[in-house]
Amino acid sequence: MKHFIFLSLIFGAFIANVLTADSPKSPHILFIAVDDLRPELNCYGAERSISPNIDRLAAMGTLFENAYVQVPVCGASRASLMSGMYPTEKRFTWYGTRFDKPTSNQWGKSCTGAPNIPDIPDWFKQNGYKTFSMGKIYHYANDNVKAWDLIDRVGYFKAYQLPENQGTGKSPAYESAPVEYNAYPTGIMTDKIIQQMRDAKDSNEPRFFTAGFSKPHLPFVAPKKYWDLYNEEDLALPSNYTFFPKDAPSSSNSDWGELRNMYDDIPSEGPVSDEMALKLIHGYLACVSYTDDMIGKLLDELESLEMLDDTIIILWGDHGFQLGDHTLWCKHTLYETSMHAPLIISAPDYNSGQRVNSLVEMVDIYPTLCELAGLELPIHLQGKSLVATMEDPDAIHKKAIYGRYHSGETVRTDRFQYSEWSNGDKMLYDHKKDPNEDVNVVADPKYAKVAEALAMALVKHREKIEYDEDTDLEAIDQIDNLAPEWNKSAFNQKETRQPVATVGNEYQAYVNWRVKDPESDSLTYAKVSGPAWLKMSNAKLGRVTGIPTKSDRGINQFSLSVSDGINP
């Protein structure tokens, strides 16, 4: 006979999944990083893209429709994500950014890293994981070497296979070679990761696997079989291929030097030909399908080894990529095409086939992985765990997200994207009316209050996260700030999907989604009163757990509190 506990929580609560009392071993992690991957995937609605394995991963877990990077360039974006910290004017500023020490860009401007805090692999290593850096995880293979048990970059991203492109000094922007999948470093790396998975099968030591795919980064080189998936005659140039956004400031432009300066078949000035543009689009898609096929091999291996149910899988892109959009190529802008990237997470015991529409940021990945793996969160994190959205895909995660590139800063809400530069340039796009960002409306009087409010949001964000590596992380002064509020003063659990707890079974609930906080501060939850069996097991995440006994049968009432650490 089952005995039930009925709960009525004062100041708000939400009942999540009931878990077993046994504590499982730590899950493995498969951390898939894909260079230059915009959401040009079938699961994101890009019908021309052939990506069945990434689509399969999305069907296994949760796809985040509106995930955005902090910096639209490789080194800085990855350092921000791996540290769980936002970029600033001094930190994570350029493509050559390192996590473990300061760097200087080509103009002599210094850029700090974050060597005094643990990055994601370091934190997992400290918590018992064996960590592998395979392929391109950081921009530099030797960044923060202490965090890794093994580092293998595998090969160079310009690994041409056609004889006419080898040893001749030529650097074409694309190549279609009649070779096997493992002739290029992408395939070689995949085979090595598969062997690491096999080695881990019978080990009690949790593994932090990584798969850092360099494609579809330029040059667009892939085996011919992936090029043959597409008919170039069926491909089209973007609808805004021939014009730059109306009234957009010059600061928002890019000369796409990465393409112009590194590849022989690209003009040093002016546009590429339409024929070349279509060839580049074809090559990009071929590289997406190549990487997709390798991801499929990794998923197949986990399934064959019966490790899927013990592995958290995350796939992310380090930034978007322009394919002729608004006359632009590559990344290096604050436009949607540079900032928007894929993010997919599959984790044991979470629902499959979910889609989250709320705004999320790559800085949120670090706390998410910690929570999914059952690790405490390090104190330096500036992101917010996505687990609540995996519990409830309709939950609002953030109302505003932030990024920057060089002297430009940007803030995005569900409708608007506002950017400003230190020289006074500004732009504002209304995505409800102009999803492709064709017209800058920052000077339109109708949008004056919107621009003013978003400019203030940037000021507040800047003051909130700006500090150098010598700052005491526990003594950061916050700016004027509104207190968090519960959606209601009391909740009866009959309103939830699981209105009762069962005697003898471990019970878990989250209360964080019942709280509104305009600034998305790091909140702390506490149990104020109530029967002893239910405890606040994670004050940062608002997670309560406990095992009721027969003496607890009936209606139980608990009082809870929430604080942002700023307001009394």
- DSSP three-state, residue 169: coil
Give me the residue label for tokens 């881990």.
200
Smallest CA-to-CA distance from 94 within 118, 78, 81, 115 is with: 78
Give me the long-range contacts of 232-238 (CB less than 8 A, separation at least 24).
232/278, 232/279, 232/282, 234/48, 235/48, 235/278, 235/281, 235/282, 235/285, 237/274, 237/277, 237/278, 237/281, 237/324, 238/323, 238/324, 238/325, 238/326
Dihedral sign for Cα 366, 370, 375, 381, please: positive
Among 416, 409, 411, 419, CA closest to 457:
411
- Reported as type and span, the H/E element at residue 176 is strand 174-177
With contact defined as beta carbons under 8 Å apart, do 28 and 207 qualify? yes
Name the residues annotated as catalytic. 74, 139
Instruction: Count other C-beta atoms under 10 Å from residue 407's C-beta.
Output: 14
Between the CA of residue 161 and those of 167, 168, 295, what are the distances in Å? 11, 12, 22
CA distance 65 to 39: 9
**Contacts made by residues 489-493, CB under 8 angstroms, sequence distance 24+:** 489/10, 489/11, 489/12, 490/8, 490/9, 490/10, 490/11, 490/12, 491/8, 491/9, 491/10, 491/12, 491/13, 491/14, 492/8, 493/6, 493/7, 493/8, 493/9, 493/13, 493/15
For residue 118, say if its preceding peptide bond is cis, omega within 30 degrees of 0.
no
Max intra-chain CA distance, the chain: 81
| One-character DSSP codes across 323-387 | ESGGG-EES-SSSHHHHB--EEEE-TTS-SSEEEEEEEEGGGHHHHHHHHHTPPPPTT--S--SH
Tokens of residue 213, six digits: 């795919």
DSSP 398: B
Say if strands 207-213 and 28-34 run parallel, antiparallel, or are unpaired: parallel
CA 120 – CA 126 distance, rounded (Å)? 10
Task: Return the DSSP state at 515.
Answer: E
- Residue 101 region, left (φ>0) first, then alpha (ψ -120 to 50), else beta? beta
146 vs 375: CA distance, rounded Å: 20
